[in-house]
Amino acid sequence: MTLETVSTSKSFGGMQGVYRHASEATGTDMTFAVYVPPHEPGTKLPVLWYLSGLTCTHQNVMDKGEYRRTAAEQGVIVVCPDTSPRGDDVADDEAYDFGKGAGFYVDATEAPWARHFRMYSYITQELPRVIADNFPADMNRQGITGHSMGGHGALTIALRNPGRFKSVSAFAPISAPMQCPWGEKALGGYLGTDRAAWARHDSVALIEGGARLDALLVDQGDADGFLSEQLKPELLRKACEKAGIPMILRLQAGYDHSYNFVSTFMGDHIEWHAKRLR
């Protein structure tokens, strides 16, 4: 597999890079960003995955997330994948919440999406191999976080892969996609009518079905316009309480759903992950 370097730029003593490769999982070229902090030659560093939300690529958090200073201070690699396959022959939808930019971190089974929309396999299998082969990554020390749809992805991927991630957090995650319009549209469109298949990509349903995390940090703005209809963090909190999962849910007064919110608390999350990844 050939990894193409799209760009590199020094930042806080480390290197912010953007890379492209031909993906077997999606059948398309995929682009992702990696920040590698300053480190001694031969050192292996912990890895924090950041999964982005609806409409985003790797570029949004790279430009607006303000993660590099803290990642450099804490010695953590940050990996930022895309949210869906791209290309002229990739199926799409006119709506912002389905199709390109809205892969929902599932492996689609319904036509025409099944051909390329295999983001679960890409994030959990293929891209980790690329990271392990090309960067100074200690794959025994991985954490995962994400925003909105990416928060949903971070939670469900961690819940479905016990032991892989030593730390899990989220910014305004779609907590119960089977119970909100975004999730019902995406899961129905990509996976069909079998709600048992949906449950494999729903954090609340996974926890109710026995999946567990060691701990969880969630930040949520209380001025978020999607809070009550789409995000529903109270359902996640109740599921965690019932399952005995230690969850910190911080309702942040006056914050909305934007990257102004994410960037404000990004440093807290990286420090939280770094502590657990040491």
Give the whole-angstrom CA distance, residue 269 versus residue 153: 16
* Positions of E strands within 69-146: 77-80, 137-146
Longest dimension (CA), the chain: 52
pLDDT at 90: 98
Residue-wise pLDDT tens digits, 23-47: 999 999 999 999 999 999 999 999 9
Active site residues: 148, 224, 257
Spans of the chain, pLDDT less than 50: none
List the end-to-end C-alpha distance of the chain, in Å, as a whole number.
Answer: 31
pTM, entire model: 0.98
Residue-wise pLDDT tens digits, 192-205: 999 999 999 999 99
